[in-house]
Amino acid sequence: MVRGKTQMRRIEKTASRQVTFSKRRNGLLKKAFELSVLCDVEVALMIFSPTGRLYEFASAGLVNEESTCWLARPRFVKVKSSAS
């Protein structure tokens, strides 16, 4: 049985939205770990749940305080809008 393409829109039911967040959060954390191992790169990931709880991942190279100080610096990246 083939599933159709999932439309990207807000899930209205709170319980369903929370379940989807939990599943996708775990998948995203797993992908961040895999990326850090397979490509030998430093990865830092912060996720805030709808309730405000923080979930975070940092690769082994980022666990000391000296290497994470760059996270506190404001960084701005100019991205071209598809409308312009």
Q: Where are the beta strands (DSSP E) in 20-77?
A: 44-48, 54-58
In terms of Cα–Cα distance, which of 22, 21, 62 is closest to 44? 62
Q: How far apart are CA 2 and CA 57, in angstroms?
A: 33
So what's the pLDDT on residue 84? 42
Query: Which residues lie below 8 Å from residue 56, measured CB to CB, with a gap of 6+?
Result: 44, 45, 46, 47
pLDDT tens track for 16-52: 999 999 999 999 999 999 999 999 988 888 888 888 8
Whether pLDDT at 53 is above 60: yes
Give the mean model confidence (pLDDT) for residues 58-63: 76
pLDDT tens track for 5-16: 888 899 999 999
Give the mean model confidence (pLDDT) for residues 39-66: 82
Whether pLDDT at 59 is above 80: yes
CATH for 14-72 (3.40.1810.10, 3.40.47.10, 3.10.20.30, 3.40.50.300): 3.40.1810.10
Domain boundaries, the chain: 14-72
Q: How far apart are CA 29 and CA 22, in angstroms?
A: 11
